[in-house]
Amino acid sequence: MFFIIHSLITSVFLTALGPQNRTTHFVTEFVLLGFHSQREMQSCFFSFILVLYLMTLLGNGAIVCAVKWGRRLHTPMYILLGNFAFLEIWYISSTVPNMLVNILSETKTISFSGCFLQFYFFFSLGTTECFFLSVMAYDRYLAICRPLHYPSIMTGKFCVILVCVCWVGGFLCYPVPIVLISQLPFCGPNIIDHFVCDPGPLFALACISAPSTELICYTFSSMIIFGPFLSILGSYTLVIRAVLRIPSGAGRTKAFSTCGSHLMVVCLFYGTLMVMYVSPTSGNPAAMQKIITLVYSAMTPLLNPLIYSLRNKDMKDALKRVLGLTVSRN
Please report the pLDDT score of residue 281 as a whole number. Answer: 44
Q: Which tens digits make up the pLDDT trace of 282-293?
A: 455 777 778 888
Please report the pLDDT score of residue 241 as a whole number. Answer: 87
- Cα dihedral 178/290/297/38 (nearest 10): 120
Rounded CA separation 221/202 (Å): 15
Percent of the chain with pLDDT over 90: 29
> Higher pLDDT residue, 247 or 301?
301
Rounded CA separation 22/105 (Å): 28
Please report the pLDDT score of residue 22 as a whole number. Answer: 47
**Average pLDDT of the chain?**
82
Q: Give the residue extent of every domain in the chain.
A: 35-317
Please report the pLDDT score of residue 20 as a whole number. Answer: 45
Please report the pLDDT score of residue 198 as a whole number. Answer: 85
Q: Which tens digits make up the pLDDT trace of 215-255?
A: 888 888 888 888 999 999 999 899 888 888 877 777 677 66
Whether residue 9 is predicted with pLDDT greater than 60 in this model: the reply is: no
CB atoms within 10 A of CB 70: 18
Please count the CA atoms within 13 angstroms of the CA of 303 that sit on its side-chain side. Answer: 16
- List CB contacts of 219: < 8 A, sequence separation 6 or more: none
CB atoms within 10 A of CB 101: 14
Q: Which tens digits make up the pLDDT trace of 18-55?
A: 554 444 447 888 998 887 766 777 888 889 999 999 99
Q: Phi/psi of residue 31, each to 5°?
A: -110, 115
Please report the pLDDT score of residue 305 as a whole number. Answer: 79
Task: For the domain made up of 35-317, give the CATH fold.
Answer: Rhopdopsin 7-helix transmembrane proteins (1.20.1070)
* pTM score of the predicted model: 0.85
Percent of the chain with pLDDT over 70: 83
Burial 299-327 (b: 16+ CB within 10 A, else e): bbbbbbbeebbeebeebeebbeebeeeee
Enter the DSSP assignment of 50: H
